[in-house]
Chain A
Amino acid sequence: MFEHAEDELIERVIRQLRKPVAIDEGLDARVMREIAAAARPARQRPALVRRWPLLAAAAAVAGLVIAQPWSHGSGVRSDSYQFVLLAPQAASVALVGDFNDWDPARSPMRAAHSGLWATIVPLAPGRYHYAFLVNGVEWRRDPAAPAALDDDFGAPSSVVTVGGS
């Protein structure tokens, strides 16, 4: 059995180690990009996404330890949201928006019977422009969501706002 004082010290250590650790919120996007990249034909595949590979190489060469900037990691809750579009004639529908870097490969939608396409996306609090890309060429707004007023690019978008802090 351990002495009381020693147990206390270990308890302090455990409390310290149990504190939440901030993970770079960019990690989610890197994972999803890597997964999406693998789904594309090989010749289109971009280099695997890694953070700062050149920086690490430079540090190794120089033998220096370069301080990492703070990752203020999310700690923010992301809730899951389901996006749905009725498009019975479509061969493919992708959801694109501010939450997935406008990358059609990241959130391909899944067709159910009856022409209803759906996907689930985690969203942290914020305001997101988004749209549906049908058959890779046709832009559609979400009929049930507010339109994006500021249409910079001549193709329709919608807006979703997620509250919280």
Chain B
Amino acid sequence: MGIDRVEMSDAELVRRVRAGDTGAYGALVARYRDRLGRYAVHMVGDREDAEEALQDAFVRAYRSLARCDDPERFGAWLYGILVNRCRTVGARASRRRKLFVHEPESTAGGSTGADVVDRLEWDDAVNRALARLAPEHREAFLLKHVEDLEYERIAQLTGAGISALKMRVKRAREQLQRFLREAEHV
């Protein structure tokens, strides 16, 4: 009786939600929000749109939870929904000016003003370079190198073939280097 802290796997939480414990879905959202949010923010480029895509993905996942075949792999299934949401939202966002992602600088660590400026400039340069990639190249690069997924998995999420994906990643790497060299001041 009372309150107990519980360690629940994704599969158990999914089972509970399916059995009617809607509140338990909140635990899944809390678990995956930041991890998936990172992909959305870098893919979409605009924070507000990224959070909208993320919110959409969570809501759609809840509504189609009956179709999650393997609750043990809820996270991976959710990823697929998010990748699609980002494509839809991204297409809309590209028609508007974008705001770039800036993370708040921590005040710990005693950085000098110059350090902070350098970090912000690098941060900015990376974001701009990423934004200049074609969406399918950016998507493949992020899923492979930032989210660390295997090509087989990326193929399932995106519907593209593995060799096409490898080409896209290669292209993304080449272009990022070119854009970043162009942006260098020294």
Contacts and interface: CB of A to CB of B under 8 A. Distances in A.
Q: Among A56, A60, A82, find the residue whose CB has the most chain B CB atoms closer than 10 A.
A: A82
Interface of A: 2, 6, 9-10, 13-14, 16-24, 27-28, 30-32, 34-36, 38-39, 50-52, 56, 60, 65, 67-68, 70-75, 78-86, 95, 100, 106-110, 118-122, 142-145, 160
Interface residues of B, number: 56
Given A27-B51, A28-B26, A120-B21, A145 B103 contact: no
Given A32-B26, A119-B21, A80 B58 contact: no
Query: Which 4 A-B pairs rank lowest in CB-CB distance, beginning with the nearest?
Result: A144-B2, A23-B37, A107-B23, A122-B30
Contacts of A27: 29, 33, 37, 51, 54-55
Given A17-B146, A79-B5, A119 B23 contact: yes
Interface string B44-77: 0001100110110011001100000000000000
A39 to B, nearest CB: 7
A16 B42 CA distance: 11
B99 interface: yes
B70 to A, nearest CB: 21
26 contacts: A13-B126, A17-B42, A17-B126, A17-B130, A21-B41, A23-B37, A27-B33, A27-B51, A28-B26, A28-B29, A28-B30, A31-B26, A31-B59, A32-B26, A35-B59, A70-B104, A74-B33, A78-B30, A80-B5, A80-B6, A107-B22, A107-B26, A108-B22, A120-B13, A142-B2, A144-B1
B5 A81 contact: yes
A147 to B, nearest CB: 13
Given A6-B177, A106-B23, A18 B146 contact: yes
Nearest to A31: B58
Contacts of A56: 48
Contacts of B142: 17
B15 to A, nearest CB: 11
B180 interface: yes
A80 B25 contact: no
Interface of B: 1-8, 13, 16, 19-27, 29-31, 33-34, 37-38, 41-42, 47-48, 51-52, 54-55, 58-59, 62-63, 96-97, 99, 101, 103-104, 122-123, 126, 129-130, 142, 145-146, 173, 176-177, 180
Contacts of B176: 9-10, 13
Of residues A27, A50, A100, A118, which shows the largest number of chain B Cβ atoms within 10 Å of its Cβ? A27
A23 B3 contact: no
Q: Interface of chain A, helix or strand or loop or mixed?
A: mixed
Contacts of B21: 108-110, 118-120
Given A13-B180, A23-B33, A108-B20, 6 more contacts: A14-B146, A17-B130, A32-B29, A65-B97, A68-B99, A80-B7
Given A17-B130, A23-B51, A60-B96, A39 B34 contact: no
A110 B19 CA distance: 8
A83 B59 CA distance: 24
A120 B16 contact: yes
Given A21-B103, A22-B103, A56-B48, A30 B24 contact: no
B173 A2 contact: yes
